[in-house]
Amino acid sequence: MRKNDVKDVKACRICKQKKLYKFLDLGKMPIPNGFLKKEDLKKFEEKFELSCFFCKYCGLIQLSKVVNPSLLFKNYVYIPSIAKVMMNNFSNLSHQIYKEQKLNASSLVVDIGSNDGSLLTFFKNYGTKVLGIDPAINLVKVARMKGIPSESKMFNVKNARLIKKKYGSANVITATNVIAHIDDLHQVFKGVSYLLAKNGAFVTEFPYLLDLVKKNEFDTIYHEHLSYFSLKPWRRLVDQYGFEIVSAQRLLVHGGSIRLIHKWKSNKKNPANKTVHYLISLEKNYNLYSKKTLSGFAKKVENLKYDLTTLLKTIKQEKRRVVGYGAAAKGNVLTNYFRITNKILDYIVDSTPYKQGLFTPGTHIPVVGENILHHDNPDYILILAWNFADEIMEKERAFRKNGGKFIIPIPEVKIL
């Protein structure tokens, strides 16, 4: 390991306080999207600590280490456009924002973490100007090929300045499933403050901590996700930069997320206060910010490990075959932590072309296309991309018709 590969988190990312309490330790893990080529299977795999801190002062949950983003995002294999659910969510988001913000052909929408341009394509189709910004060079190329102007850059104050100079202020800035990836949240907010027009809206979506804790979604905790947000600490952050949350909606995506719309604070009555207060009261009623709740969560993870590994052991003893479905990063967390290796899963089906032909980090399970499954008849499919379980079971209904069974691991082990 080189010196700059990983650094310790010494103070809370939002409030800078140093009273951090560790409540979950998943041990050392390979980088969750670090799929391997066949020729690399024998090589040494770097592993990094994966454990979570709770800030007693503001309530933010965060990883204890930050792995250098250049190791995590250089050749990023995650693309949301594979899943219908994600595309529907983007379609719905763009529709809502286009209407509510009264956008037109002269409006500029900037997407932070624009990936392959999936979200911006919807805005472009409404006729607005668009600009993507994403450090993953491979995906920026794909986005450009789709006609989405994109810059291969990190979003920070310096780059916000460059963008403003080149393209003007943004009427809308979107950031879906990316804020949790960013260590320096203050750079993001400074950048947004610089780039956002006076009447502009900053729209963000991220997985919601309340859902994560309530539904045992421990496998969504991985090196890429540095923070696990809830409204109480988030509101404190946005407030510091002169924004207010004008709308808070819960979403079903990624096991439960929230969509927040922020505007510059004004003296007008804020109609969203009610929803924001409501969510904060839900967090409080669940005792989300207590050591007891968080250690209880860690305990539930251990129970899940026992339940799933016992089931898989029985299946293997009965000489039945199991394969995985969805080579999601979260699947790599689950399989690595539970030690579900290539001795248990014959392969993992995934429709992402970039992942096929590769092997999962740590557990070395081959990733294959759907066609392999369709010419095979395993007894069980373990749905690792459980957030898309319905979509996957619908797509593979023939498997169940032929007597196959699905195993869904989260929130608790279910056989269908």
- Residues binding ligand TMP: number (CB under 6 A): 17
Q: Which of residues 42-71 bind Zn ion (CB under 5 A)?
A: 55, 57-58, 60
- 3 state SS of 222: coil
Q: Decide if 245 contacts 272 (C-beta within 8 A).
A: yes
Among Zn ion, ligand TMP, none, the one that 143 touches (CB under a kind-dependent 5 to 8 A) is none
Q: Decide if 44 contacts 59 (C-beta within 8 A).
A: no
Of the pair 159, 356, the CB lying nearest ligand TMP is at 356
Q: Which stretch binds ligand TMP (CB under 6 A): 46-54, 61-69, 195-203, 327-335?
A: 327-335
Token pair for 91: 């379609």
Q: Which long-range contacts (C-beta less than 8 Å, at least 24 apart) are formed by 132-135?
A: 133/159, 133/163, 135/69, 135/73, 135/74
Of the pair 221, 329, the CB lying nearest ligand TMP is at 329
Q: Which stretch binds ligand TMP (CB under 6 A): 119-127, 209-217, 259-267, 321-329?
A: 321-329
DSSP string, 128-164: -EEEEE-S-HHHHHHHHHTT--EE----SHHHHHHHH
User: Which residues, listed in sequence order, are joined to residue 111 by a DSSP beta bridge?
Assistant: 132, 174
According to DSSP, residue 365 is labeled: P
Shortest distance in whole angstroms from residue 176 CB to Zn ion:
24
Does position 393 interact with ligand TMP (CB under 6 A)? The reply is no
Does position 12 interact with Zn ion (CB under 5 A)? The reply is yes
Of the pair 20, 368, the CB lying nearest Zn ion is at 20
Among Zn ion, ligand TMP, none, the one that 63 touches (CB under a kind-dependent 5 to 8 A) is none
Of the pair 14, 246, the CB lying nearest Zn ion is at 14
**C-alpha to C-alpha distances, 262 to 247, 249, 399, nearest whole angstrom:** 7, 12, 45
Does position 31 interact with Zn ion (CB under 5 A)? The reply is no
Beginning with the edge strand found earlier in the chain, give each strand of the sheet holding 170-176 in spatial order: 150-151, 129-133, 108-112, 170-176, 196-207, 257-264, 243-251
Determine which residue in the list 46, 346, 376, 391 makes contact with ligand TMP, applying CB under 6 A. Answer: 391
Q: Which stretch binds Zn ion (CB under 5 A): 13-21, 39-47, 73-81, 147-155?
A: 13-21
Among ligand TMP, Zn ion, none, the one that 327 touches (CB under a kind-dependent 5 to 8 A) is ligand TMP
Token pair for 379: 């007894």
- For β-strands 150-151 and 170-176, DSSP reports them as unpaired
Does position 82 interact with ligand TMP (CB under 6 A)? The reply is yes
Among ligand TMP, Zn ion, none, the one that 139 touches (CB under a kind-dependent 5 to 8 A) is none
Per-residue binding letters, 61-80, with ligand TMP (x by CB under 6 A): -----------------x--
CA distance 136 to 69: 10
Does position 389 interact with ligand TMP (CB under 6 A)? The reply is no
Query: What residue ranges bind ligand TMP (CB under 6 A)?
Result: 78, 82-83, 326-330, 350-352, 385, 387-388, 391-392, 395
